[in-house]
Amino acid sequence: MAGQARGKVKVDVNECKGCGLCVESCPPKCLELAPELSQYGVHPARYTGHDCTGCGICFYCCPEPGAITVYRLAAPPKPAVTMQGGEHAPAL
């Protein structure tokens, strides 16, 4: 799914047990299991590098505390509202 990334995810390969729950639960499918084995002999999850929305679902699905950290990117500032000449707030 293409789109502006609103978040990013970091997986600690030393905490991940390769269960794949985060991969299955991620709505935009931006997680995958790495083909390499970790030192524990499992395929750890990893971020594909794009499309994370920062929703946090992977974090809540993961059974291993500390394996996933989700970062939400700050939203761009909204444009300032300007009043043009002759406009006034309506009388109540």
User: What are the two backbone dihedrals, phi and then psi, of residue 87, each rounded to the nearest 5 degrees?
Assistant: -90, 135
Candidate residues 20, 32, 34, 38; the one interacting with ligand SF4 per rule CB under 6 A:
20
Q: Report the nearest approach of ligand SF4 to the CB of residue 2 (Å).
A: 13
Tell me the helix, strand and coil percentages in the chain, rounded to 5: 10, 15, 70
Cα atoms in the Cβ-side hemisphere of radius 13 Å centred on 20:
6
Distance, CA of 89 to chain centre: 41
Candidate residues 2, 3, 4, 16; the one interacting with ligand SF4 per rule CB under 6 A:
16
What mask, x for binding ligand SF4 by CB under 6 A, covers residues 40 to 69? ----xx------xxxxxxx--xx-x--xx-
Residues forming contacts to ligand SF4 in the complex (CB under 6 A) are: 7, 9, 11, 16-22, 26-28, 30-31, 44-45, 52-58, 61-62, 64, 67-68, 70
